[in-house]
Amino acid sequence: ALVAWATGSSAGCLVDEISQAVGPEGSGDDLSQHLAERGVLPMFGFPTRVRDMFLWRPTRAYPWPPRGTVDRQLELAIIDFAPGSETVRDKQVHTAVGLAAFRPAGPRVVADKAPLGRRRPVTLCRRCGAVRHRHQETPDACSSCAAVAPEFGSFELAEPTGFRSAFRAEDFEGSFTRNARATTPRIAPDLDSMEVIDVGGARALSGAGDVFVVNDNGGRLYRFAPTEDWESWVSVDLWRDLELRGRLLRTVSDLRLDEAWEGALGMVKRTDALLLGRREAVPGLDLRPYDPGRRGAWYSLGFLIRAEAARLLDVGLAELTVGSSVRHVDGRAHVEVFLADALENGAGYCTRLGQRDQLEHLLERADGFATELGKPPHNGCDSSCPDCIRDFTNLIFHPLLDWRLGRDLLDLLLGRPIDTERWVYEEGLHAAAFAGDFFGRPVRLEGGAWAVHGDDGVAIVRHPLESPAEGTDPPARGLSERLRHAYVEAKDLARGAPIQFVSSFDLQRRPGWVLANLA
């Protein structure tokens, strides 16, 4: 079989896989590395995507790499070495200012004149998180959620070959260092080659996909310009700021501003992925991750499943990446949580988890894990803790994570309805706390839902996954059964005043925002 695959000329053989792999741009010019990154050849023995930040300009070719470097894998380097980020080494703080890469050439050291590396046009939706390769003209709106600018945009994504500091360190005085933040991992699945399996109420896809990690400077993008000698490309805005603070030996006038480039730093890696989503829509529920509560629910589900997947596979948590994906299926937004192998070109973990027997076993174990979290001591957690779904690898998600929301989405995947009765006690506490801090009084409405009744109207507390039914009056068609009953009683209480729905997630975590948005 191996010989037939290597020497054949039909679809799926080695030559065919190479032909398909060389279509997308790679991170380098070497065919062997490109085929390894696309999963045709193994990564072992080939160069990895480690990037150096040079703390000063190297002058000697030996030893190499020189002592004045700090290295990271590219997906970490675009965050840790982004302009403005600070790195502490030998009790000194080094501020990253741009891009530079050097290599030995005999006894000399030469600079890479194009440290931006490979650049590829992409589109990114900051509303639903969809990221795609842009092969043609820029679309006007997101294909997944129809968002338009400024939430949806197009830009070039650069995979730098190296980074540089200001070449001027400061003493570290024990204060916190600054770092940039990348977006959460995004996936562009190769749907045509993925295996599809239905389990319970879920649809699972497993196979290869492109995982994107993007640092777009919080949506503002970066602007780099080369120095006069073309040895570095530095952040124009940061360079000017550091010059004013006296931390640079050179001035902005030394930059070739007419050659400036604007875009984002990032990487694209081919790896194995497993996508899980609800097969059919659920009346009364809105699963689209367009607000913090629903986004937190999907990430909570992902990390809950990842915890059991790591135990099932006997691997570390860092071996699996978690994210969410939104795409259009049969005219509706189809939301999925995904697990992806952290190893470039895939380790086979997610492909194995996508097999029917393994997937059923994984969901069964995850269900058991969620049941255990409903018992002491975790039933006393207000959201999550380091002993359930929080860990160091998902630190940036901690404000969003709530194991109860993950459990509710897991129920939907297993074909069970959400048991809103489990939330009545918490919803009552949040309503009482809000009323005590701001205005009104907590009221238990027909159907079991809680509300805050004040002189300016009624705010009905809903589950984060229940449809908010915005813009409809009366909103009977888009509401769950319990909220329909609550709405009828709230009309009698309101006596013509506005009736609104607020998520228990927002009520607990950002009551000031809720107050500001009440009519």
What is the pLDDT at residue 39? 77
| Each residue's pLDDT tens digit, 201-222 | 999 999 988 899 899 998 899 9
Beta-carbon contacts of 380 under 8 Å, excluding residues fewer than 6 positions away, are none
Beta-carbon contacts of 204 under 8 Å, excluding residues fewer than 6 positions away, are 196, 197, 198, 274, 275, 276, 354, 359
What is the pLDDT at residue 328? 81
Residue pair 164/232 in contact (Cβ under 8 Å)? The answer is yes
Q: State how far the alpha carbon of 128 is from the alpha carbons of 150, 153, 238, in Å.
A: 13, 12, 30
- Residue 283 carries which DSSP code? T
Question: pLDDT exceeding 90 applies to what percent of the chain?
Answer: 51
pTM score of the predicted model: 0.86
Q: Please state the length of the chain.
A: 519
SS3 394: helix
What is the pLDDT at residue 292? 93
Q: Which of 326, 302, 289 shows the shortest CA–CA distance to 131?
A: 326
Residue 249 has pLDDT above 70, yes or no: no
Cis-peptide into 66, omega within 30 deg:
no
Beta-carbon contacts of 425 under 8 Å, excluding residues fewer than 6 positions away, are none
Give residue 472's pLDDT band: very low, low, confident or very high (50, 70, 90): very low
Query: Phi and psi of 81, rounded to 5°?
Result: -110, 15
| Each residue's pLDDT tens digit, 134-152 | 877 778 888 878 888 888 9
| Each residue's pLDDT tens digit, 175-196 | 766 776 666 788 888 888 899 9
Q: State how far the alpha carbon of 449 is from the alpha carbons of 77, 206, 381, 466, 480, in Å.
A: 48, 39, 22, 12, 11
* 414/198 Cα distance (integer angstroms): 10
Per the DSSP assignment, residues forming a β-bridge with 171 are 92
Beta-carbon contacts of 238 under 8 Å, excluding residues fewer than 6 positions away, are 83, 84, 97, 98
Residue pair 376/388 in contact (Cβ under 8 Å)? The answer is no
| Each residue's pLDDT tens digit, 341-400 | 988 778 889 999 999 999 999 999 999 999 999 988 888 888 998 888 999 888 889 999
Q: Which residue has the higher pLDDT, 327 or 115?
A: 115
* 274/336 Cα distance (integer angstroms): 10
Q: Which of 305, 409, 391 shows the shortest CA–CA distance to 349?
A: 305
